[in-house]
Amino acid sequence: MVLFERVIEMSYKIELHCHTNPVSGCSNINGRDLVRCYAKAGYSAVQVTDHFTSAFFAEHEFEDYFYGYHAARIEGEKSGVKVYLGAELRYDGCANDYLLFGVDENFLRGAKELLKGPYSEIFAYCRKNGVLIYQAHPFRDGMQETPAEMLDGVEGYNMHPGHRSRNEKAIAYAKEHGLNYLSGSDAHSKEMVGRGGIIADSLPEDSAGLRDLILSGKYELYHEGELL
């Protein structure tokens, strides 16, 4: 009963990590269907975090990156689901992935020029522009530890069922270093929708508002039907 009452009080469920096809080649769900699935799962908003890499831009124009986001946004207007622009950035020569909060198209245009690294320049660019940078699934196989002082936080709960993300280690790392941690479904298919996110008592209007909500800490983490 206590859990039920907390859900009622904090009525907006928000996804922080999901991917659309064809922008994220590893995803098999397009932006329209992604939002339809999240609406059915009771979410009020989703942040589209397609992979933002040099490999993508080697074969596509900059504007192509927003294809899934715009498809999701159009469907969101019909379904009553807010859609925020995000990104999951990976720079050359490193397997780490970083979730960005508070981005817009102009910011990403500049970030594209920094994909060769080093990470310190990407971090400085985020700081300069008020964008939060969180290391996604930091203890998944192949990841490297990013110095805590060069992060705003980590993804503590990555709910992708096909990877061993070692969420308990990510949470322990965040607590040890005084970092914030978040939860995300990392959805790439219909079956992966709705496994993570946050629940808040207010619904941001845009990507900047989502960043501000995260900074405020006025939300609960959510995964697999439970508040944490």
Query: 150 pLDDT exceeds 70?
Result: yes
CATH number, domain of 149, equals 3.20.20.140
| Local confidence band at 140 (pLDDT 50, 70, 90 cut-offs) | confident
- pLDDT for 10 equals 57
Which residues are CB-contacts of 40 (< 8 A; sequence separation ≥ 6)?
none
Q: For the whole model, what pTM was predicted?
A: 0.91
Contact criterion met (CB below 8 Å) for 187 and 195? yes
Burial class from Cβ neighbours inside 10 Å (0-12, 13-18, 19+) for residue 135 reads: buried
Based on the structure, what is the number of domains in the chain?
A: 1
11-21 residue pLDDT tens: 899 999 999 99
- Could you tell me the residue range of the domain that residue 171 belongs to? 2-227
Backbone angles phi, psi at 24, to 5 degrees: -95, 105
Decide the pairing of beta strands 196-200 and 12-18: antiparallel
Q: What percent of the chain has pLDDT over 90?
A: 79
92-134 residue pLDDT tens: 999 999 999 999 999 999 999 999 999 999 999 999 999 999 9
Residue 43: what residue type?
Answer: Y
Query: CA–CA separation, 95 vs 18, rounded Å?
Result: 18
